[in-house]
Amino acid sequence: MTNRDSRYDILFEPVQIGPKTTKNRFYQVPHCNGMGHRYPQAMAAMRGVKAEGGWGVVCTEECSIHPSSDLSPAPLMRLWDDNDLPVHELMVEKVHAHDALAGIQLVHNGFEVANYVSRQPSLAPCNIPTEAFPHVQARAMDKADIRDYRDWHVAAAKRAKKAGYDIIYTYAAHGTMTLLFQFLLSRYNQRADEYGGSLENRVRLVREVLEDLKDAVGDSCAVAFRFAVDELLGSGGMQKSEAQDMVGLLAEIPDLWDVNVADWHNDSMPSRFGTEGGQEEYIDFVKQTTTKPVVGVGRFTSPDTMVSQIRRGVIDLIGAARPSIADPFLPNKIDRGAVDEIRECIGCNMCTSGDYLAYPMRCTQNPTMGEEWRRGWHPERISKAESDSTVLVVGGGPAGLEATLALSRRGYETTLSEAKGVLGGRVIRESSLAPLNEWRRVADHRNYMLSQAANVQTYTDSPLTAADVLDMGANHIAIATGSKWRTDFTGLQHQAPIPVSHPSSVVSPDRVLSGEKLSGEVMIYDDDHYYLASAIAEQLACDGMSVTLVTPAADIAEWTHHTLENEHIQVRLRELGVEIICKKEMVSIQQGFVTLGCIYMETPLELAADFVIPVTARDAEDQLYRDLTAMESDWADAGIQSITSIGDCFAPATIAMAVHGGHEYARHLDKSEEERAFFRRELDLGGE
C-alpha cells in the first residue's frame, strides 16, 4: 500500500515507450552480472526480484546477436539461435510476473571481442587489432558483412520478440565496446565508402539497424537506442558537439533514447570520483532534440534528485544499474514512504568485478545479490526464528552489524557489543579518508535499521573478554572482532617478515585510519593491490605530504581495474604529485630511508622515507574467539549452544565478504545441515 510523500508522485507516473507503457519511471537499465547464460536461473531470479521491488522496466545485460561476437569467458547473454530462447523466456516470465516491462540489449561487439569459443574472426569498420587479443586482428567489414550484420540483428530481434521482450535495444555506448559505436567514431571508422567519412555516413549503419528493428518488431515492441554522448576524451573522441548532431539525425527513429557517457569507468563512476546525478551536464541536451522519452543514469538513490531531474526536463525515466543492485526494492520503499530504509549504493563497484572476472556478481551493500535463486535469499524476506534463543554479537563492524540486523529481522533477541565508541568498524575507519566517504553508508544504513528494531540492544564502548561473554548468558555467540593490518611486510610478495632495523619508521594503516598525523616523507608500500593504499596516498597528498607509492605489482592498485577505479586513481595520484614506483619490493627499513629491490633481479635502490606504511596483509583479531574455544567445557553451564567467528575475524577479506558472512550466519542460525547447504547448482540449464 502506498504511503508515499506526494512530492514523489511524479516518479510513479506511467510513461509511453512506443507501443508499450511502463507503469512508473523506475528503469533498470541493462547491466552485466556475471551470471548471464552460464547461471540462467540465478540471473532470472535476480531480475525477477527487481521487478518485484517495483522497477517498471527491467532489462538484460548486453546480449550477443551472433557467434562472431562471442564474449567468452564472460557469461553474458546470447541470442544466436533458438537454443538460447529458454533462458530469455525464463527471465521475461519472472519480470512480467510483477507487471514490469522486460527489455533486452542486443549487441555486436566488433573488435572488442576475440571470439575465444566460437573461433570466428572479429569484425570492425577497418582492419584493427582486437581489444581482447591484440595480435589477432579484426576483419574490415565489406558490404556483404554489413548485410549479414543487419540480418543477424533482425533475426535476434525477432527471437527477442518471441521470448516476450517488450523493449528491444540496439547499442552504441561504452566506448569501443560495440560495433555500432566503432562505426560512429572517426578514429576507428576510416572507411572510404558510404559508411565512413562524414557524420551522415558514420551514422548510416545505426540508422539502418534502427529502421530494420522497427520494421521487424516495431509493431508490438519498443525499439530503444543506447548511445554514449561523450567519451570525456576531448576532441579525440565522441563529445557533446558531435553527439548533438548525431542525436539530431536520428531523433525520432527510436522509441526511447538511453543516454550516458563512455567509457564504462566514466559511466559507472566510482563514488570516489563522482557524485549522484553527475552525468546531467553531458546528457541534458538530448530531451531538447527529440520528443521520445529519455532515460539516463547517475547512481540515483535520492528521490529528491530523481524528481529534480525529471521536473527540470533532463530525463523522463530514472535509469539505474547500481542503485537497483544495492536495493532491488528502492522504488517500493519510496512508494510506501520508507525512504530512510533504502540501502544506498556506496559506489565501490565491487559489482562490476563480476563481469571482469566472470563470476556471479556480488554487492557490498546487498548480501543477497546473486543469491536469490542459488540460496533462496530474498532481500526483503527472511525466515522467522526457529527458537527463542538469544544471540550475542561481539564487534560492530560490517559483519557484526549485518548479522545483528538479519537476526533481528528473523525475530531473535540480539545484543551487539562494540569495543569502540561508534558502530561501523573498518567502514567507519576507512570512510574517514575523504576518497572513501560514501562507503560510510554501509554502517549508516544498518545503524538506522537497528535503531528501528525493538529486539536489539546495542552497547558501544564495551570491549568484552571471554569471561564477560560467558556471563552474558546468550545462547549463541557470533564473534565479529575483525582484523588488523600487519606491520612486518608479510604479504603476497614476501611470505615471511623482512628486516626492520628502525621499527618506529613503520606505521600501520590502522594508525593512519585512526587519525594519527604524520609529517615528513611518507612511503606507502602496497602489496594488497586493492583500494586502500591508493586512498591513503590520496589523502596524505591532499594533506600536503610528500608521498611515494611503491608496489611489487606491474601497476598500482591492480585489482581496481575490475572496479573501474584504476584509471581514475592513476590520474588523481599523478595530479596530486604522488611518486609512483612499480615492480619493486621492500628489502629493508632503516632510519630515514628504505632499500627497495627490483622484483626480477637484485638491483637495490635506496630512497628517503621518514615513515613507511605497509598495506600488505591482515591478521584476524581472533584472540577472543580462541579464548572462548579453549573454555568449551564451560559453555553448557553458561547456556551457550554455539560460538562462531564471522567476517574478518574468520578470514580477513573485503567489506562485501564481511557483510555476506554476517548475513549468512544469521540466515543459518538454527537451520539443519541440509538447509545450510552451500548453494544450488545449475546443472539442468547451464553450460556453454
Q: How far is the CB of 265 from ligand SF4 (least distance, A)?
A: 13
**CB of 364 or CB of 390, closer to ligand SF4:** 364
CA distance 337 to 507: 47
Selected range binding ligand SF4 among 143-151, 202-210, 346-354, 623-631, rule: CB under 6 A: 346-354
- Quick check: is 267 catalytic? yes
Q: How far is the CB of 431 from ligand SF4 (least distance, A)?
A: 13
From the list ligand ADP, ligand SF4, none, pick the one residue 346 interacts with, judged by a Cβ distance below 5 to 8 Å according to partner type: ligand SF4
425 near ligand ADP, rule: CB under 6 A: yes
The Cα angle at residue 416 between residues 413 and 420, in degrees rounded to 5: 170
Distance of CA 500 to the CA centre of its chain: 38
Q: How far is the CB of 656 from ligand ADP (least distance, A)?
A: 10
Q: For residues 442-481, which are near ligand ADP according to CB under 6 A?
A: 463-464, 480-481
Q: How far is the CB of 363 from ligand SF4 (least distance, A)?
A: 3
401 near ligand SF4, rule: CB under 6 A: no
Selected range binding ligand ADP among 345-353, 393-401, 605-613, 629-637, rule: CB under 6 A: 393-401
Cα four-point dihedral sign 420, 423, 429, 433: negative
From the list ligand ADP, ligand SF4, none, pick the one residue 345 interacts with, judged by a Cβ distance below 5 to 8 Å according to partner type: ligand SF4
CB of 52 closer than 8 Å to CB of 328: yes
- Quick check: is 174 catalytic? yes
243 near ligand SF4, rule: CB under 6 A: no
CA distance 441 to 397: 12
Q: Helix or strand or coil: residue 643?
A: strand
Contacts 24+ apart (CB under 8 A), 157-161: 157/106, 157/212, 157/213, 157/216, 157/217, 157/221, 158/216, 158/217, 159/79, 159/82, 159/84, 159/85, 159/88, 160/63, 160/79, 160/88, 160/104, 160/106, 160/217, 160/221, 161/216, 161/217, 161/220, 161/221
Q: How far is the CB of 659 from ligand SF4 (least distance, A)?
A: 10
395 near ligand ADP, rule: CB under 6 A: yes
418 near ligand ADP, rule: CB under 6 A: yes
Q: For residues 339-368, which are near ligand ADP according to CB under 6 A?
A: none
CA distance 461 to 572: 37
Q: Which strand (E) or helix (H) includes residue 229?
A: strand 222-230
**CB of 165 or CB of 300, closer to ligand SF4:** 300
For ligand ADP, the binding residue among 98, 162, 378, 420 (CB under 6 A) is 420
Q: For residues 608-667, which are near ligand ADP according to CB under 6 A?
A: 621, 624, 647-649, 658
The stretches of 64-118 forming alpha helices (DSSP H) are 85-96
Instruction: Please give the single-letter amino acid code of residue 544.
Output: G
Q: 8 φ, ψ to 5°?
A: -100, 5
CA distance 207 to 249: 9
Q: How far is the CB of 268 from ligand SF4 (least distance, A)?
A: 8
Tracing cell 576507512 back to the chain, one arrives at 430
Catalytic residues: 32, 171, 174, 267
Which residues bind to ligand ADP, rule: CB under 6 A? 394-400, 417-420, 425-426, 463-464, 480-483, 621, 624, 647-649, 658
Which residues bind to ligand SF4, rule: CB under 6 A? 322, 325-326, 345-351, 363-365
